[in-house]
Structure 1
Amino acid sequence: MKPRDGCQGLPGDPAAERTTVWAGDDPPSDEALLEAVARGDEGAFERVYDRYAPAVYGHALRQTGDPSLAEEIVQNTFLSVWRSAVDFRRERGSGRVWLFGIARHRTQDLLRRRRRWEVHLDGVPEPQDDAQLQPAEVVERRLLREAVHRSLDRLSPVYRDILHLSYLRGLSHREIAQMLDLPLGTVKSRIRLGLERLNRVFWEGGGRDGA
């Protein structure tokens, strides 16, 4: 993991020019840093990131087993930290507990969307451990997965890319809208239409889907 690669430029707000001056030689507490982040202090945000990004990455990697997904969870977690620091209250718990609560939610969101991708087509089974299946069932399942991905490749880019972001990368509709600079309603509409086209291409075995 490359620290802060996915979070460069996240603040991007005039308030981020504010910088807190810390008194004494002791490092500021998590709670003090989060309160400074809530005031738009980019330096405090970087301290929080450097302090906790490796631990969040380790947690995400244990949950997903996938380094690229773990890095994505780190990015999503600290984006949420920047946006939600105003909601942090030290009287409700420590900064560490609050931050890891966000990390757990971002991990669960991504895994839930990936599971939804696995089962949204009728007849496509949920993932199972190959050891629990007969050899013929293992082959059948793998062929079926390959067919789903071939069908996805047949979609026009406008639908293929947005389904990839939503179901394979696990981004929320709002995050996709921000990434692609699209209205939220447009994102939801394209995902719905994309799933309809994917379902049709998969079951009909047709050629490349038109826009």
Structure 2
Amino acid sequence: MADSGVEGLVVAGDLLKAVAAGDETAFGRLYDLFAPRVFGLVRRVLGDPAQAEEVAQEVLVEIWRTAARFDPSRGSPTAWIFTIAHRRAVDRARAEQAATSRTLRAGAASLDTPYDAVADEVTGRIERQQVRTCLDDLTELQRQAVTLAYYEGHSYPQVSKLLGVSLPTVKTRMRDGLIRLRDCLGTGAAA
């Protein structure tokens, strides 16, 4: 089935609505309609057929999970699907490039610098203890906010919700807490 003109857009739009309602048959039709084109787009971005297959499958799973988010007033079903595919492909390409760069940097660093595992472990323990001591010097709200954001990976809005305080308060406490940590640890220039 080809997505040609207005008729193809109506079919794709109707299929997306049905997929949003959990219709597996509609998803099968949508898959058949878009899988080859999604794969082609992703392969053009990535170049590697194996990675392109993997990313194309991720895209189609994402379409299944997020079909309810499609808003026909913001664009066509094809544009929405291809935007998801392009973003996923670019994300994968960037991740691969970053991994390659990290590997090259790590390899180059290991050639240039002798490594003393015992000294590194001792230094790491001392630094961790110093950070714990400095965290203890923060106010309770500062310590909770910094811990939630930097050790547990929560965003500022999530920290705000978890602590039951306003977002501006969280941002202020985070800033003040990080300044106090910096001063306590003796790192960086004065603000």
Name the TM-score, length of structure 1 as normaliser: 0.45
Q: TM-score, normalised by structure 2?
A: 0.49
Larger radius of gyration: 2
Question: Of Structure 1 and Structure 2, which has the larger fraction of its residues in helix?
Answer: 2
